[in-house]
C-alpha cells in the first residue's frame, strides 16, 4: 500500500517519530510519502494515512487539526491511524511513574486532543500516544517551575521499541484482508 505519513511538530520529536514509522512501514513493504502538515495542503494520492501531532495544552497543533478538518471526507474513505506525541506516552514518560499514572488518568478523562466530532467523522482504526522530548527552552519560567515540582526530567523520552512495535502492527493491519 501507499501510505501517507503526515506530522505536525513544534520542536522535532513528532517529526522523528513520523520518520521512524515511515522507515518501519517501508521495511514491511509499504510505499510511504512523509510530509509535514500545514494549513493549506491536501491529502496526496494514497491508500492509507498515518497522522500525528505534538500535543500542546491538551490539543493537537492547529495545522494538524486543520489538515484533518479539510481532508475529513478523503480520510474517512481510507484506513487511518493517529498518533500524538506529548510528555506522557502510553509506555514512556518524562515524569516519575506515580505522577505519570495520575497524568494518564487525567488525560483519559479530558476532552480528546482532536475535536470529538472530527474524530467521529474520520473514524481512525487506531490511535497511540508516544512520549516525546522536552527542553527547558521550550517553556516559560512558570512552566519550568511546575515541571520541576512535578519531578519532570528534560530530554528525549520516546520509547523507540514502542514506536517500532506500533508501526509494525499498523503495517500488518494494512496488509490484512480489509486493508486495516
Ligand atoms: C507550549 C507547550 C505546551 C505543551 N502542552 C502539553 C500538554 O498539554 N500535554 C503534554 O503531555 N505535553 C505538552 N507539551 C509537551 C510536548 O507535547 C512535547 O514536548 C512533545 O514532545 C513536543 O513534540 P515536538 O517536539 O514534535 O514539538 C507541551 C509543550 C509545549 C512547548
Residue 13 in grid coordinates: 520529536
pLDDT one-digit tens code per residue, 31-85: 999 999 988 889 999 999 999 999 999 999 999 999 999 999 999 999 999 999 9
CA nearest ligand 1 atom 3, residue: 56
Q: Is 94 in the pocket of ligand 1 (CB under 6 A)?
A: no
ipTM of predicted complex: 0.98
Does ligand 1 come within 6 angstroms of the Cβ of 13?
A: yes
CA distance 88 to 136: 17
pLDDT, tens only, 109-131: 888 899 999 999 999 999 999 99
CA gap 22, 16 in Å, rounded: 10
Q: Where are the domains of the chain?
A: 2-175
Q: Among 36, 53, 57, 90, name the best residue to mutate to test ligand 1's pocket (greatest count of ligand atoms within 8 A of Cβ).
A: 57
Q: Name the closest-CA residue to atom 19, ligand 1.
A: 134
Query: In whole angstroms, what is the distance from residue 13 CA to residue 129 CA?
Result: 13
Please tell me whether the overall predicted TM-score, pTM, comes out greater than 0.90 for this model.
yes
Given CATH 3.40.50.360, say whether it is the number of domain 2-175.
Answer: yes
- Cα–Cα distances in angstroms (integers) from residue 128 to residues 28, 140, 144, in the given order: 19, 28, 26
Amino acid at each position: 500500500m501507499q501510505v501517507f505519513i503526515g506530522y505536525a511538530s513544534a520542536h522535532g520529536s513528532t517529526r522523528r517519530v513520523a520518520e521512524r514509522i515511515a522507515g518501519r512501514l517501508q521495511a514491511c513493504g509499504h510505499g510511504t510519502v512523509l510530509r509535514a502538515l500545514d494549513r493549506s495542503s491536501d491529502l496526496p494520492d494514497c491508500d492509507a494515512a498515518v497522522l500525528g501531532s505534538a500535543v500542546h495544552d491538551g490539543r493537537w497543533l492547529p495545522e494538524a487539526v486543520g489538515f484533518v478538518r479539510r481532508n475529513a471526507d478523503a480520510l474517512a474513505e481510507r484506513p487511518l491511524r493517529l498518533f500524538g506525541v506529548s510528555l506522557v506516552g502510553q509506555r514512556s514518560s518524562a515524569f516519575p511513574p506515580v505522577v505519570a499514572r495520575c497524568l494518564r488518568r487525567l488525560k483519559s478523562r479530558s476532552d480528546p486532543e482532536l475535536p470529538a466530532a472530527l474524530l467521529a467523522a474520520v473514524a481512525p482504526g487506531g490511535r497511540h500516544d508516544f512520549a516525546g522530548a522536552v527542553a527547558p527552552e521550550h517553556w516559560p519560567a512558570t512552566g519550568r517551575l511546575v515541571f520541576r515540582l512535578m519531578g519532570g526530567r528534560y530530554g528525549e523520552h520516546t520509547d523507540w521499541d514502542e514506536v517500532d512495535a506500533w508501526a509494525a502492527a499498523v503495517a500488518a493491519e494494512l496488509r490484512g484482508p480489509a486493508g486495516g
